[in-house]
Each structure stands twice: as C-alpha cells, then as structure tokens.
Structure 1
Amino acid sequence: MPDHTSPGTLLSELRARPPLVHCITNFVAMNIAANVLLAAGASPAMVHAQEEAGEFAAIAGALTINIGTLSSAWLRGMETAAIAAGQSGKPWVLDPVAHYATGFRRAAVGRLLELGPAVIRGNASEIIALAGGASRGQGVDSRDGVEHAEESARLLARVHGAIVAVTGAVDFVTDGERAVRIEGGSALMLQVTALGCSLTCLVGAFLAVRPDAPFEATVAALATFAVAGETAASKAHGPGSFSWRFLDALAALDASLLDRQARLRCA
C-alpha cells in the first residue's frame, strides 16, 4: 500500500492545493523565504502589521513566526496573528531566533510559547536554551551539535504539546515520543543567509496541507529541504551558485524523487 504520509505524497498534495502561508519573518529572510515557498509550490504572504496580522492569519492555511529582527511593533503583530490563528484553528510555527541573546527576546518567546505553536523549529543551541539547558550559542549561530539537543527537544515537545525540529548537519524531529533523523543537505547552506528562516516558512506550507499530521508535515518539509540542498550542492562551486541552484532543485523536485532520495531514520 502507498504511504499516505510520505514526504513525496505531502509534496504532491502541496502542489495540487497550493497553500497560502502567512509569514512573519525577519528583514533578511523575506525575499529568500518567499522564493523558497514559490519554488516549492506554495503561496507566500509577508504580513506583520498588528492592524491586519490577525485578520490575515485567519484566512491563511498556516502562520509562521520568526523573531530574527524583533521590534515591539512586530511583536504585537506576532501575538495578534498567533491568537487569531488559534481561534480559527490554523496551525502555526515558531522560530525562536537567538531567543537567549537579550531579555527582550526571552520575554517575547515566553509570551509566544503560551499561545500554543504547533511546531517549534530552531538550531541546537536555541532548542537547548528554550528547554532550560545551558547552550553554547552566540547570536544566531549554533555552537552545539544536534545530537546534544535531542533530549531537550523531546522535553520541549512534551511540555508544550508541540512538534520540535532541531536543524543542523542531521536534522531531528520529535513529538516527545516519536522521533526521526533526516540526513542530507550541504554545508554550503550555512553560507547562504536566511535559509534556515526559509525552512521555517516551508514547514508552515506543509503544515497547511496536513494540519492534522504536524509530525509528518514537519518531517516532509525538512526532507524536501535536505534533498534539494544535496542536489544543488552537487553542481555548485560556492555559496553564490548554490543559492540559485537550490531554488532550481527545489522547483524541479517531484514526489518520486523525494521519496527515493530522502534519508529518514527513526531515532
């Protein structure tokens, strides 16, 4: 029997019914995140003003919130959107970028966590710190290995009832009980700004397609990113050529190729 939750199946569903994804992301990420969603087959909208964020979240398929370039005005828009998403039954993703760096960020993430994200995606240092551990992160850079964040991710998932995705050399996704590791991608991805932020938006796109299966949707998004990254890196000469090749690889990826090349391991 076919696997109705395989990454390829979910990618086909995404392209058959392109979801509108409400992305509240940072200044650095807006362009690349929008292009990533378009290449995957989704429809991006970068809406952050408090005056319209709630109304827009209610009509979108999913919401993603990234605190990379945080401000008080943007935080009000984030909270308004998250509340509206919850009230209208729309799932949302939290990307707690460098949340440990300042008191403002720590307080902001604490308030957003109370609003019930369906998925939390971050690097290892962000996830360790979010679970109350001591991380070695500095700014937006992770100085901890994904393997060191796995137990923190499981704890965070159980406490908040969310899927937690830790991204790095080998990604890790858990709901607190089940867990999957995703191999692939390329070291060149670390040299292209905001690709991780773009991945958060892609998780939102898959989540919009399968809001009832957030674990499988998150795994599918990370597998899609990993396969496209590996494909792009095979012909790239550096981060510049990798960047456009990544978008091309993402756009060219189909369901059968994704399921053949995705390297998933139960953890």
Structure 2
Amino acid sequence: MLVEQITQALTAVREQKPLVVNITNFVVMNNTANALLAIGASPIMAHSKQEMAEMMSFAGALVINIGTLDSDWIPRMSFAVEQANIHNKVVVLDPVGCGASSLRTATAREIARLAKKLIIRGNASEIIALACEQAKSKGVDALNSSDSAVSAARFLVTEYDASVVISGEADYVVTHTHTVRLNNGHALMPYVTGMGCTLTALTAAFAAVGDTSGVAAAAVLGVAGEMAAEQARGPGSLQMTLLDELYQLNDETLKTRLTLQVI
C-alpha cells in the first residue's frame, strides 16, 4: 500500500508540475533547482519580501533552508512562512547546521513554531539539536547516526505538529501515525554537497501534491541515488548521473528496488 502511494505521488508531481518556492542557501541553489526540474516540478528561488505574498498565493509549497543564514534573510523567512500559513501551504524546514551555532538553533526553532503545516527535514545531529537534545555536529555535517535521532524526531512531531524526515545511512520518516525506515541510497551520496538539501526540495514537491509525510521524496531520492552510484566514478559523476536517474525513474523501478519497513 505504501509503495503504491509513493508511485502515485511521483505520477502526480509529473502531471501537476507544482511550483516550489525556495528560500535556500547559496551553495545548493543550482543543485536543488535541477533536481526539482528532473523530477517534474517547477522551482523558483525567491528571497524578496516584495513578491512573497503574491508568490505563495499560487505556489505549491515553501522551502526554508537556513544554510547560509544572516540577519537580512531571517525576517524574509518569517514573512514567507506567514504567507504560506495564510494560503494553507506546506512549509519544509531544513535546519542546516542546527546545533552548530545559537543563531541557527534559535532561528530553526522560531520558524518551526511559526509554520502551521510543517515538515522538518534534517540530518540526525540537526534533528537532535532542534529537539533540545545534545547533538554531535561538525559544521553542517552529522556525527550522529540517523537511528539515534528517532526519539528526537518523535518529540518534534508532537511539539510542532509536524512530520520529520531524518536523512542518513538509513532514512527515517516519522509522523503522528507511523515511523518508516528506508534503506536505499549509497555511501557515495554524502560526498556531494547539498544532497540533504536536495531531499528537502523534493519533499516540498511531493508535499505540494499531497504527500505531507516526506516518505515519497526519501524513497525517490534513495532509489535514484543508489542507481546513480552504480554508474558513477566519484562524486562529480554521481551528481550528474543523479539528475538523469531522477528524470528517468519509473514505477516499476521504484517497486523493484525500494527497501522500506514500517517500524
């Protein structure tokens, strides 16, 4: 049943081509825009308050990614979330580096409190830090395993009425009703910057067509990344091949290769 829902969500993204508004970091703008296009969605990088109210009136979902945070961006992010709330749109928060500095941690928590329809997507250390627990982080990289963050994710689900996606060696999707473990992907993927941010952007695309759990995006990126790594010689070719695999991914391949369990 869950696999069928994932394939239906992929079809819906390609048919509806939802617009995903991204307030995201300078490092990953190109990566995430290309991934959204490859999967069939429509990306826009929008950072101006002057257009945000109009943009959110017809967008499918909003990404808030705090990777290159500064004092100019914080009020823009808050305003964008307010507009998403007004128009009943999902906000996908990527708390990049949460726990690495007090500014990042405080900002991530404030955005989470503000959003009415929220999905949080982070690595294990970010999820643990956002939940006020002690995390081991090195800049924006996780030193905690995704398994260790499940309890923190369950706290965040309750605290912010959110769904939580933990990316790592295994991915976890935690909602009010279930926890799903996904075991696709490849060890080469963390060597490409912004791979987690790509998952965040794809999560917003699928949220725009109804999957507010995050499981479809995690499934699709995991399978595509796994297949891309089988052909890649290293991180550079993986990044290029991943876009091709996202573009060519079909229901049969998903059903054959996807490895997940409800726990």
Identify the TM-score tier after normalising by the shorter chain. over 0.9
Match of 2:212 among 206, 211, 214: 214
CA distances 1:151-182 after superposition (whole Å, capped 9, x unpaired): 11111111111001110010001114410001
SS in 1 for 2:143: coil
Equivalent residue for 2:158? 158
Equivalent residue for 1:114? 113
8 Å contact from structure 1 (residues 156, 176) kept in 2: no
The runs of 5 or more residues in structure 1 that have no matched partner are none
State the alpha-carbon separation in 2 of the partners of residues 3 and 167 from structure 1: 19
TM-superposed CA distance for 1:100, in Å, is 1.7
% identical aligned pairs = 43
Equivalent residue for 2:178? 178
Equivalent residue for 1:16? 15
8 Å contact from structure 1 (residues 49, 73) kept in 2: no
Equivalent residue for 1:237? 233
State the alpha-carbon separation in 1 of the partners of residues 33 and 250 from structure 2: 20
Please identify, of 148-157 and 251-260, the stretch whose mean Cα deviation from structure 2 is larger: 251-260
Equivalent residue for 1:247? 243
State the alpha-carbon separation in 2 of the partners of residues 54 and 162 from structure 1: 23
TM-superposed CA distance for 1:5, in Å, is 5.4
The verdict on how the C-alpha distance between 1:183 and 1:4 changes in structure 2, with shifts beyond 3 A counting, is closer
1:139 correspondence with 2:132:
no
Equivalent residue for 1:100? 99
The verdict on how the C-alpha distance between 1:191 and 1:127 changes in structure 2, with shifts beyond 3 A counting, is same
8 Å contact from structure 1 (residues 57, 82) kept in 2: no
State the alpha-carbon separation in 2 of the partners of residues 262 and 6 from structure 1: 13
Aligned AA (2:190): L
Equivalent residue for 1:196? 196
State the alpha-carbon separation in 2 of the partners of residues 37 and 128 from structure 1: 27
TM-superposed CA distance for 1:199, in Å, is 1.0
Taking CA–CA contacts closer than 8 Å with sequence separation of 6 or more, which of the two structures ends up with the larger relative contact order?
A: 1
Aligned AA (1:179): T
State the alpha-carbon separation in 2 of the partners of residues 58 and 259 from structure 1: 35
8 Å contact from structure 2 (residues 99, 135) kept in 1: no
8 Å contact from structure 1 (residues 64, 201) kept in 2: yes
8 Å contact from structure 2 (residues 124, 144) kept in 1: yes
State the alpha-carbon separation in 2 of the partners of residues 28 and 3 from structure 1: 33
Please identify, of 2-11 and 253-262, the stretch whose mean Cα deviation from structure 2 is larger: 2-11
Q: CA RMSD in A?
A: 1.4
Query: TM-score normalised to the size of structure 2?
Result: 0.96
State the alpha-carbon separation in 2 of the partners of residues 174 and 5 from structure 1: 19
The runs of 5 or more residues in structure 2 that have no matched partner are none
State the alpha-carbon separation in 2 of the partners of residues 67 and 39 from structure 1: 23
| Paired positions, count | 262
TM-superposed CA distance for 1:102, in Å, is 2.0
Equivalent residue for 1:56? 55
SS in 2 for 1:71: coil
Aligned AA (1:99): C
